[in-house]
Amino acid sequence: MGPDARENTTGSAAGPPGTLAVSLIPVLQDNYVFLLERDGEAAVVDPAVAAPVDAALRQRHLQLRAILHTHHHSDHIGGTPELLRRWPGCAVVAAAADRQRIPFQTRSVADGERFTLLGEPVEVIAVPGHTRAHIAYWLPRSGHLFCGDTLFAGGCGRLFEGSAAEMHHSLQRLAALPADTRVWCAHEYTAANLGWARAVAPEEDPAAAAAIAERLQQVLEQRQRGIATVPSRIGVELATNLFLRAPDAPALARRRRHKDHWRG
């Protein structure tokens, strides 16, 4: 699988002063909130709760400029009202199709829309399947993808509001991004996802079986040391994610049903 499997295991991506830095804030049981910062300004993605985010902003002396939401679930938007009380001028970006379920958005966006965040170009990608109005944010210049619950490290989101065909199309759109794109997914599900994949890969996708087993071993070692497995990379997912590798929607549906009922 190569060195990419262990790339950036600290859960942060930082460069020289003046560049965009991304770090994760673990919250709840297995959620991650993502903190983007540059030159004293910050944005956060999917703040499930406010207190740890506010604490990180204060500790780093950052001014919160924007909150980005990928979808409407409470473990992705729950902290926004409180953050807005602390930062009343903060922009809230979310899907135009989800205005009713994310009512505090100040900028409503749709597929293909582009905007600038902390000096970085951002492209909105519609990725329905987990929910009907799910979106992802791709930062092409710095190579970051914030994909919520659509693409996970080693997995994909459950089909709560969408079809397997929608999810397959969404995943294929993300699969087409550059291989070194960092995948910031919103939950620490990697070990469970790869445990399932290792069990079914010999039959479902024998070409990927060895890479999945190797990656799972690395992930288990990371978790034993308390290291986040996020971010992943698109190239790693193409090699080891059975949902991203599903050849068609029926195959994805079969794998999703099996994973939903798998108990390891």
pLDDT for 260 beyond 90: yes
69 labelled catalytic = no
71 labelled catalytic = yes
Mean pLDDT of 219-246: 98
Based on the structure, what is the number of domains in the chain?
A: 1
Q: Which of 69, 72, 130, 134 is catalytic?
A: 130
Instruction: Please tell me which residue, 17 or 1, carries the higher pLDDT value.
Output: 17
pTM of model > 0.85: yes
Q: Which of 73, 134, 144, 168 is catalytic?
A: 73
CB 150 within 8 A of CB 174: yes
What pLDDT sits at residue 3?
A: 25
Q: Which of 71, 72, 134, 144 is catalytic?
A: 71
**pLDDT, tens digit (0-9, with 9 covering 90-100), for 177-226:** 999 999 999 999 999 999 999 999 999 999 999 999 999 999 999 999 99
Q: Which of 69, 72, 76, 168 is catalytic?
A: 76
Q: Which of 72, 98, 187, 205 is catalytic?
A: 187
- 21 forms bridges with which residues in the sheet? 37
Residue 109: give its domain's CATH number: 3.60.15.10
Q: Strand 41-45 and strand 31-38: pairing? A: antiparallel
**Is residue 5 very low, low, confident or very high in pLDDT (cuts 50, 70, 90)?**
very low
**Is residue 7 very low, low, confident or very high in pLDDT (cuts 50, 70, 90)?**
very low
Give the relative orientation of helices 190-204 and 249-261 as an angle to the nearest 10 degrees: 120
260 labelled catalytic = no
What pLDDT sits at residue 2?
A: 31
76 labelled catalytic = yes
A 10 A CB-CB count for 127 gives: 29
130 labelled catalytic = yes
CB neighbour list of residue 247: distance below 8 Å, 6 or more residues apart: none
169 labelled catalytic = no
Q: Which of 54, 75, 98, 205 is catalytic?
A: 75
What pLDDT sits at residue 264?
A: 73
Distance CA 220, CA 38 (A): 32
User: How crowded is the C-beta side of 196, counted as CA atoms within 13 Å?
Assistant: 20
Instruction: Please provide the average confidence, as pLDDT, over all residues in the chain.
Output: 93
**pLDDT, tens digit (0-9, with 9 covering 90-100), for 125-147:** 999 999 999 999 999 999 999 99
What pLDDT sits at residue 12?
A: 57
**pLDDT, tens digit (0-9, with 9 covering 90-100), for 27-83:** 999 999 999 999 999 999 999 999 999 999 999 999 999 999 999 999 999 999 999
- 88 forms bridges with which residues in the sheet? none
Q: Which domain holds residue 111?
A: 3-261
What tokens does 78 get? 């729950």
**pLDDT, tens digit (0-9, with 9 covering 90-100), for 146-182:** 999 999 999 999 999 999 999 999 999 999 999 999 9
4 labelled catalytic = no
